[in-house]
Structure 1
């Protein structure tokens, strides 16, 4: 009997090692596919703006320029200092380095998604892939959140910081006293400040989730480590630095609303609800169906607590946008992050045959992804070629002494994985903000783009 037990243990260890190797291959392939899309993406829209110092207007030329520019930015435009430090840093260091770093951050972000969903359980390649496919298939403006340089720094990079910060709480939930040592306190405070200083709705939901963990830990253990408390305090400090930035008040002047206060917030509530309905309804319904199944079955109700935390954070992240006069689709990134974790967590506890269900769902999703990726990469390659030709045309005219450049335009992206999907391109109006930023970037007086006859 002892021999059989030993053989069985060895077999399980081999299975675990095989699963881990397969998972690492999935991570590597995901990174390569994501890097290709990054390499095909050009500088775009606000990237031209952040290549210059916000105060002096000179090109960013050093790390000191990045920080001094963001100091001016904080007082004149907005408080997303963490995100825009990254954006200006890579506008200075160059797109090729950003492509590599953005891929690494993407892998970190998806790994954090996976660990939040799968912590304490055996490795599962389907769960890791489903975490990515949720964003690929449902995120309304994938490229603006994940691939566009300035957009990725605002959403993907900040999302990675937030989920990385919350992973401390998630680990401590499963392994009490994991971060009870005093030495963890300054680290969690610092990471908490960074997580709170990311972007408004995601950081607000992060603080809500962190406080939820503290309350649940107090109820369960009758104590909360100082380090986790310090993390929430840091997050609150970062969030205050974000929302109280003097530049926010100045930027609001660009979004004047003439309606009464009641009508104004009613419209914003309607917009937030419409965004959730149009883009995240599938995740909401999936969570609700699995939650109700487990709740009424009654066997594993206690395991619904963490999924519920993340689901509430996702809904709060969406409706926090009521406080903003403008709700672009890219601001749903945090909503998708929290809802995806909630759905993956509740999927782990849903039904006895969950493994077969997950593999079947993943297989179908991968088939659809393969076809979609093929068309998306072709679309990105097409616009990348046009961008390169357009840049060569602009630089050739500049070299010939032309300062009022007229170049050609082209059809924007057709897939959500293309940064040109929203069609914010150099146009025919020289006063258009993209034209002005691009003209300064290329060092010409004016720049317009027209359809070739």
Structure 2
């Protein structure tokens, strides 16, 4: 029943479960790889403002000028405790922003349609976004992708409210300032996000001009600041160096236009890697909305519903454009598709919101969403099985490293990890897995520990005896 007390209680339970789930997966995801690299530069494992700021400036000039990189340096230097406190609320904010962009307003806790749409959107975020284990729950990945996407989507929400007529922002100098600051920060998030948002704002401006609609001055203040932030990102010396380099576990530089156009199918395949369920939902919603328009006439999409459908289709098209845009320079690591997949799912949710509001029998789209949510929930249950096993192996390895350090060893060889199901969803690619002590992750961990070298015993030539002794003493203890 709409506006019922039971639905309000259900919404609060969903939010609480979402936070607990995000907290558990954040805690179980190992602190490793780039996290070690981010934590050792400048501040000696403690949060110290100026050394960290100097490291951020070095990164802007030499390697990674994105806002997420600066957040990663600050957060990793403070320690994983800060990430564990903040990250669950960031993930929840992502789900809430997806709903806001889809519906043009906030969730109404007493409306069962809103609660269902928000719940399914949150489950899709946790299971269908690009490599969620890497992009949301691993410290360096979460700050670079999920946190940056939250800033970007938050900026878009300002304009989505204006498009929907639900914005309450007053057009005054203070608004110009804070919206400009938000726009500049959003412009510093990621290379493929900035052109997308600038293009969407341009289309909004054209629509307003066509309909003779006056726009507030904060619209242009945010738009201009966003363009300036994007220029600071795209023209940064570090960005030039990064786009011309092969990165660990990441980008492959495209040299010729033949290679670039030939990479488009590969980029689309990466975009759809975790999008099986949203693709099916999109096909069903598109067919249903076409049939609805055929039966009731074009007038069914006039007014508010028409704007909502237009916004949803725009998000879906822009998401595909964001995925393909990498062909200009690099084929990136697949987790770089994160913001594009989130925008795609937002568009799908928007279509379902319109469908449930306009169809005579709203239980039909509700049942489809519930079935999709059930499948996503089943995948989430798999995470709850896989992540603790990853965590246990990491804790065993960490205890073994402490044991070796206590013995005064400066060159440490550690055992390899056992395989874990659902591995692509977990940040296994950033855990130590190389036998080369000079490999990027190994050298970062060695510097973090203050030793000469550390590597993985990929051939089984040194570790087994010391590892068995360590495991045996642990079992006796």
Contact 2:155 2:183 in 1 (8 A): yes
Structure 1 counterpart of 2:127, from 105, 114, 137: 137
Look up the SS of the partner of 1:448 in the other structure.
strand
User: 2:259 is matched with which residue?
Assistant: 264
Provide the TM-score with structure 1 as the length reference: 0.88
Structure 1 counterpart of 2:16, from 24, 28, 32: 28
Q: 1:317 to 1:295 in 2, by over 3 A?
A: farther
Structure 1 counterpart of 2:287, from 286, 289, 293: 289
User: 2:63 is matched with which residue?
Assistant: 77
Contact 1:44 1:419 in 2 (8 A): no
User: 1:162 is matched with which residue?
Assistant: 152
Cα distance, 1:278 vs. partner? 4.1
Contact 1:272 1:318 in 2 (8 A): yes
Counterpart-to-counterpart distance in 2, 1:259 and 1:137: 30
Report the count of equivalent residues.
438
User: 1:206 is matched with which residue?
Assistant: 197
Q: 1:195 to 1:413 in 2, by over 3 A?
A: farther
Contact 2:130 2:271 in 1 (8 A): no
User: 1:236 is matched with which residue?
Assistant: 227
Check if 1:436 corresponds to 2:424: no
Structure 1 counterpart of 2:39, from 32, 51, 76: 51
Counterpart-to-counterpart distance in 2, 1:258 and 1:425: 25
**Which structure is higher in RCO with an 8 Å CA cutoff and minimum separation 6?**
2
Look up the SS of the partner of 1:406 in the other structure.
strand
Bigger drift between 397-406 and 261-270 goes to 261-270
Contact 2:183 2:222 in 1 (8 A): yes
Counterpart-to-counterpart distance in 2, 1:412 and 1:57: 35
Q: 1:115 to 1:421 in 2, by over 3 A?
A: same
Write the deviation string for residues 348-379 of structure 1: whole angstroms up to 9, x where unpaired: 22351563134323432343344333332221
Structure 1 counterpart of 2:352, from 328, 347, 362: 347
Q: 1:30 to 1:322 in 2, by over 3 A?
A: same
Counterpart-to-counterpart distance in 1, 2:124 and 2:177: 35
Counterpart-to-counterpart distance in 2, 1:170 and 1:33: 29
Structure 2 counterpart of 1:403, from 402, 410, 415: 410
Cα distance, 1:112 vs. partner? 0.8
Counterpart-to-counterpart distance in 1, 2:186 and 2:313: 21
Write the deviation string for residues 376-412 of structure 1: whole angstroms up to 9, x where unpaired: 2221111111111111111221122110011212124
Please tell me the root mean square deviation across aligned C-alpha atoms, in Å.
2.6
Bigger drift between 184-193 and 403-412 goes to 403-412
Check if 1:329 corresponds to 2:317: no
Counterpart-to-counterpart distance in 2, 1:57 and 1:325: 33
Structure 2 counterpart of 1:125, from 115, 121, 129: 115
Check if 1:379 corresponds to 2:386: yes
Gaps of 5+ in 1: 1-10
Cα distance, 1:133 vs. partner? 2.2
Counterpart-to-counterpart distance in 2, 1:392 and 1:57: 24
Counterpart-to-counterpart distance in 1, 2:270 and 2:456: 33
Counterpart-to-counterpart distance in 1, 2:352 and 2:252: 43
Cα distance, 1:288 vs. partner? 4.3
Write the deviation string for residues 163-216 of structure 1: whole angstroms up to 9, x where unpaired: 111111111122277334213111111100111110111232222222222322
Write the deviation string for residues 144-179 of structure 1: whole angstroms up to 9, x where unpaired: 111111111111111111111111111112227733
Contact 2:145 2:338 in 1 (8 A): yes
Q: 1:346 to 1:163 in 2, by over 3 A?
A: same
Cα distance, 1:97 vs. partner? 2.2
Contact 1:90 1:97 in 2 (8 A): yes
Gaps of 5+ in 2: 465-477
Cα distance, 1:34 vs. partner? 1.4
Structure 1 counterpart of 2:218, from 219, 227, 231: 227
Write the deviation string for residues 47-75 of structure 1: whole angstroms up to 9, x where unpaired: 1110122xx69556402222111101011
Bigger drift between 378-387 and 406-415 goes to 406-415
Counterpart-to-counterpart distance in 2, 1:407 and 1:416: 20
Contact 1:105 1:156 in 2 (8 A): yes
Cα distance, 1:241 vs. partner? 0.9
Counterpart-to-counterpart distance in 1, 2:380 and 2:26: 13
